[in-house]
Amino acid sequence: MKELSVVQQTPAPAAPKPGALQTDAMVRDPERTAALTPEIVKALSTVYDPEIPVNIYELGLIYDIVVDASSAVGIRMTLTAPACPAAQVLPEQVRAAVAAVPGVASAVVEVVWDPAWDRDRMSDAAKLQLGMF
């Protein structure tokens, strides 16, 4: 009898789900995330919502920072409201600020609406600065 060899096949990558985000496909690298996140946060802290005199990081608009093994960075952020006038400008400012961080290979920014932003996401420093205490 002839012996059959078994060839293991690698399954084709799954097609992205409708509405899936690019950051969903990124695999967080704990070491690179720990190394780059402090500098990424500094960069994000230089970006301001034009209507609010507080940076977007302290406002709580940044929901997630993903750094993968190739030092690609994914940022999930939201805006204070879906009709925010800065909706066309802020994501690109965030992408440019993060991409300029030494060690970052590339950056992608995705705007998400779930969970919805509310004032509870603001840091105490932001609330103090805006007189909300």
Region 105-133: mean pLDDT is: 92
> Of the candidates 71, 75, 100, 77, which has an alpha carbon nearest to the alpha carbon of residue 23?
75
Bridge partner residues of 75 (DSSP): 65, 109
pLDDT surpasses 50 at 36: yes
pLDDT at site 5: 37
Calculate the CA 129 to chain-centre distance.
25
For residues 49 and 75, the model is more confident at: 75
> Of the candidates 53, 55, 35, which has an alpha carbon nearest to the alpha carbon of residue 101?
35
Strand intervals (E) in 80-125: 106-111
Q: Using CA atoms, how far apart are residues 115 and 121, in angstroms rounded to an integer?
A: 11
Strand intervals (E) in 1-133: 62-67, 72-77, 106-111
Of the candidate CATH numbers 3.40.50.300, 3.30.300.130, 3.50.30.40, 3.20.20.370, the domain formed by 25-127 belongs to: 3.30.300.130
Region 34-38: mean pLDDT is: 97
Mean pLDDT of the chain: 86
Q: For residue 28, what are the contacts with CB-CB under 8 A and spacing of at least 6?
A: 66, 67, 68
Place of tokens 């993903």: 66
pLDDT surpasses 60 at 1: no
Region 52-80: mean pLDDT is: 95
AA letter at 89: V
pLDDT digits (tens, 9 = 90+) for 72-101: 999 999 998 888 888 889 999 999 999 999
- Give me the residue spans of the domains in the chain: 25-127
